[in-house]
Amino acid sequence: MPGLAGLSRYPQLFSHWGKMVLGRSYWHTRQGPGPHYQPGVLAGYFNDMTAKVHWDGPQNAQGLPVVETQGRPLLFPTMLLQKALGHWDAALARSGEAERASHEREFLRLARWAAQAQDERGGWAWWPLLGLPYPSPYSAMIQGEGLSVLVRAAQLTGEGGYLAAAQRALQPLQTEVSRGGVARRIAEGVVLEEFPSEHLNAALNGWVFALFGLHEFLLVREDPEARALLGSTLRALAALLPRYDAGFWSYYDLQGKIASPFYHQLHLAQLGALALTFPEHASAFGHSRTVFEGYARSRLNTNRAMFLKLRQKLRTPPAAVLR
């Protein structure tokens, strides 16, 4: 049972979860297939982030959105990078020059932050800011989304500095978790860890975001090591996909966490994009998507998943909640 300090967090947690279930959480707006995505072309992003452009929360002195956790304001890399990708797709959707230019300016402002905020290893350290003692300070999801932002900034501006920053961002993806990176080598290939814990975690959505960042880097610059990593992690993902099948729903990761309805729908969108983009693995990705989509059509399965997810959250509350 949690102590009094732990119990005091439950009102905040219930508020967070309630907004998520009702679709009122900034963090859990629907992320379907990217509306302008074209396989094999650096155009629209594969996942729809356009709802992320609307932030009405606090900002820092530079006008960047900030989040609060444990009473401290922080710049959350995932949030800033996803907002950038949302502005990119919003610019593609606008026919009016002024509106398109506005979204491009905001995209570039966030891309400049991404390039400037990289550390000497090419990463965006996050877990130490939350006080979480992972072996690595990085997240594969952040690295992948950073790559997707930086290569688009290079394409839009023609500035080589963005491509150089993208090249640096590969380093944590190519480094083992035990050596401070986010790559975990297993028999099936390389897992790209959103949460680089001591043991295999393999959060599905974060792995896919990381994988697409690698893929999009390779659309603009060939790199043999990155190419080999992409092939290895694709093989691993295709091989491990059956382990994300709970028999009625999808698992969030390989530690047995049930996906929330939001993440289950995100898995569907991601698997669809994977099948389109990587035809050599389309059978595996398409099969899992079809199975998971069938689960989602059942109200009984949805209610069961929500009940189990709530029970898991109550038993093991998250170490930090972003607001």
The count of domains in the chain is 1
Amino acid at 223: D
Cα-to-chain-centroid distance, residue 250:
17
For residues 259 and 266, give the distance between their C-alpha atoms in angstroms, rounded to a whole number. 10
Contact partners, residue 70, CB within 8 Å, separation at least 6: 130, 131, 320
Residue 5: band (very low, low, confident or very high) from pLDDT cuts 50, 70, 90: very low
What is the structure's pLDDT at 313?
A: 83
What is the structure's pLDDT at 70?
A: 75
CB 191 within 8 A of CB 202: yes
Residue 2: band (very low, low, confident or very high) from pLDDT cuts 50, 70, 90: very low
Locate 241 and state its tokens: 């996909």
Helices of type H across 55-180: 77-93, 97-117, 140-157, 160-173
What is the structure's pLDDT at 110?
A: 98
131 conformational bin, left if phi > 0, alpha if psi -120 to 50, beta if neither: left
In a domain, 69, yes or no: yes
In a domain, 14, yes or no: no
Give the mean pLDDT of 291-296.
98
In sign, the C-alpha dihedral spanning 82, 83, 86, 87 is negative
CB 37 within 8 A of CB 44: yes
Q: What is the CATH number of the domain that holds 195?
A: 1.50.10
Instruction: Choose the weakest-confidence range: 63-77, 194-208, 222-236.
Output: 63-77
What integer best gives the mean pLDDT of the chain?
92
Q: What percent of the chain has pLDDT over 70?
A: 91
- The candidate with the shortest Cα–Cα distance to 64, out of 4, 99, 21, 112, is 112
What is the structure's pLDDT at 15?
A: 54
Residue 18: band (very low, low, confident or very high) from pLDDT cuts 50, 70, 90: low
In a domain, 218, yes or no: yes
In Å, what is the CA distance from 269 to each residue of 234, 260, 272, 286? 17, 14, 5, 11
In a domain, 113, yes or no: yes
Instruction: Choose the weakest-confidence range: 22-36, 39-53, 186-200.
Output: 22-36
CB 288 within 8 A of CB 244: yes
What is the structure's pLDDT at 320?
A: 63
In a domain, 322, yes or no: no
Q: Is residue 28's pLDDT more than 80?
A: no
In a domain, 15, yes or no: no
- The candidate with the shortest Cα–Cα distance to 137, out of 168, 110, 81, 175, is 175
Which residues does residue 47 pair with via DSSP β-bridges, in sequence order? 33
CB 191 within 8 A of CB 182: no
In a domain, 323, yes or no: no
Q: Is residue 68's pLDDT more than 70?
A: yes
pLDDT digits (tens, 9 = 90+) for 226-255: 999 999 999 999 999 999 999 999 999 999
Tell me the pTM. 0.91
pLDDT digits (tens, 9 = 90+) for 263-272: 999 999 999 9
What is the structure's pLDDT at 3?
A: 44
- The domain of 202 spans 26-315
pLDDT digits (tens, 9 = 90+) for 139-191: 999 999 999 999 999 999 999 999 999 999 999 999 999 999 999 999 999 99
CB 219 within 8 A of CB 42: yes
Locate 50 and state its tokens: 């356009």
Cα-to-chain-centroid distance, residue 89:
16
For residues 284 and 269, give the distance between their C-alpha atoms in angstroms, rounded to a whole number. 15
For residues 86 and 90, give the distance between their C-alpha atoms in angstroms, rounded to a whole number. 6
What is the structure's pLDDT at 93?
A: 93
Q: Which helix (DSSP H) or strand (DSSP E) does residue 186 occupy?
A: strand 183-186
What is the structure's pLDDT at 12?
A: 55
In a domain, 58, yes or no: yes
What is the structure's pLDDT at 4?
A: 41
pLDDT digits (tens, 9 = 90+) for 110-149: 999 999 999 999 999 999 999 899 999 999 999 999 999 9
Task: Count the Cβ atoms, other than its own, within 10 Å of residue 145.
Answer: 29
Give the mean pLDDT of 290-318.
91
Cα-to-chain-centroid distance, residue 202:
12
